[in-house]
Amino acid sequence: MNPMTADNLRSAYGGESQAHMRYKAWGTKAKEEGFENVARLFNAISYAEEVHATNHFKALKDEKGDFSVNSGAVFGLGSTSENLQGAIDGENFEVEQMYPAYLKVAEMQNEKSAIRSMKFAIEAEKTHSRLFSKAKEAVDQGKDIKIGDVHVCEICGYTVEGELPEKCPICGVKEDKFKTFNK
Amino acid sequence: MNPMTADNLRSAYGGESQAHMRYKAWGTKAKEEGFENVARLFNAISYAEEVHATNHFKALKDEKGDFSVNSGAVFGLGSTSENLQGAIDGENFEVEQMYPAYLKVAEMQNEKSAIRSMKFAIEAEKTHSRLFSKAKEAVDQGKDIKIGDVHVCEICGYTVEGELPEKCPICGVKEDKFKTFNK
Ligand SMILES: [Fe+2]
Ligand SMILES: [Fe+2]
Ligand SMILES: [Fe+2]
Ligand SMILES: [Fe+2]
Ligand SMILES: [Fe+2]
Ligand SMILES: [Fe+2]
The pLDDT tens digits for B120-163 are 999 999 999 999 999 999 999 999 999 999 999 999 999 999 99
Tallying the residues shown for chain B, one arrives at: 183
Chain B residue at shortest CA distance from A52: B21
Instruction: Determine, for residues A64 and B54 on separate chains, whether the beta-carbon distance falls below 8 Å.
Output: no
- What is the model's pLDDT at position B169? 97
Residues A153-174: what's their mean pLDDT?
97
Q: Looking at the CA of B55, name the nearest ligand.
A: 4
| Contact assessment for residue B84 and residue B92, using Cβ atoms and an 8 Å cutoff | no
In this predicted structure, the answer to whether residue A169 has a pLDDT above a threshold of 90 is yes
Angstroms from B163 CA to nearest CA on chain A: 29
Domains and CATH numbers, chain B: 3-144 (1.20.1260.10)
Find, among B108, B124, B94, B122, the residue nearest to B5 by Cα.
B108
pLDDT of residue B117: 98
Average pLDDT over residues B106-132: 98
Averaged confidence pLDDT in chain A: 98
In this predicted structure, what is the pLDDT of residue B39? 98
Note the Cα A168 to chain centre separation in Å. Answer: 16
Give me the pLDDT at residue A58, please: 98
Chain B residues lying within 8 Å of A53, measured CB to CB: 21
Contacts of A67 in chain B (CB under 8 A): 72-75
User: How many H-runs (helices) and E-runs (strands) does chain B carry?
Assistant: 5, 4
- B26 contacts B75 by C-beta, under 8 angstroms: no
User: In sequence order, what are the residues at sequence separation of 6 or more whose Cβ sits closer than 8 angstroms to the Cβ of residue A22?
Assistant: A73, A74, A75, A86, B57
Percentage of residues of chain B with pLDDT beyond 70? 100
pLDDT of residue B183 exceeding 90: no
Confidence of residue A183 (pLDDT cuts 50, 70, 90): confident
> Please, what is the average pLDDT of chain B?
98
Residues flanking ion ligand 1, Cβ below 5 Å: A 16, 49, 52, 121
pLDDT, average across residues B99-117: 98
Over residues B26-80, the pLDDT tens digits come to 999 999 999 999 999 999 999 999 999 999 999 999 999 999 999 999 999 999 9
pLDDT digits (tens, 9 = 90+) for A78-133: 999 999 999 999 999 999 999 999 999 999 999 999 999 999 999 999 999 999 99
How far is ligand 1, taken at its centre, from the CA of residue A45, in Å? Answer: 8
> What is the per-residue pLDDT across A47-61, written as a single tens digit (0 to 9) for each?
999 999 999 999 999
**Rounded Cα distance, A162 and A133, in Å:** 17
Cross-chain CB nearest to B17 (options A20, A82, A86) = A20
Which helix (H) or strand (E) segment is A160 a member of?
strand A159-161
Q: Is A112 helix (H, G, I), strand (E, B) or coil?
A: helix
| Closest residue by Cα to residue B118 from B129, B128, B105 | B105
Q: Using the mean position of ligand 4's atoms as its centre, give its distance from the Cα of residue B121 in Å.
A: 5
Q: Per CB distance under 8 Å, which residues of B are interface residues toward A?
A: 10, 13-14, 16-18, 20-22, 24-25, 50, 53-54, 57-58, 60-78, 82, 86, 89-90, 93
Residue A63 with chain B: CB contacts under 8 Å: 75-76
Mean pLDDT of the region A16-22? 98
